[in-house]
Amino acid sequence: MGYELRVVRESPLAFAELARAIAPAGFELRGPDEIVTGHRGGAHPVARWDGRLVGEPGSDWQVAQLLRLSVALGARLVGEDGEVYALRDGVIEVEAGGGVVEIGKFDEIIDAGPAAWTP
For residue 13, how many other CB atoms are within 10 A of its CB? Answer: 18
Q: Mean pLDDT, to the nearest integer, of 77-99?
A: 95
- Identify the pLDDT of residue 17: 87
Task: Report the pLDDT value the prediction gives residue 118, as an integer from 0 to 100.
Answer: 61
Beta pairing partners, 91: 88, 105
Domain ranges of the chain: 5-112
pLDDT in tens, 42-79: 899 999 998 889 999 999 999 999 999 999 999 999 99
pTM: 0.91
CA distance 14 to 64: 23
User: Average model confidence (pLDDT) for the chain?
Assistant: 91
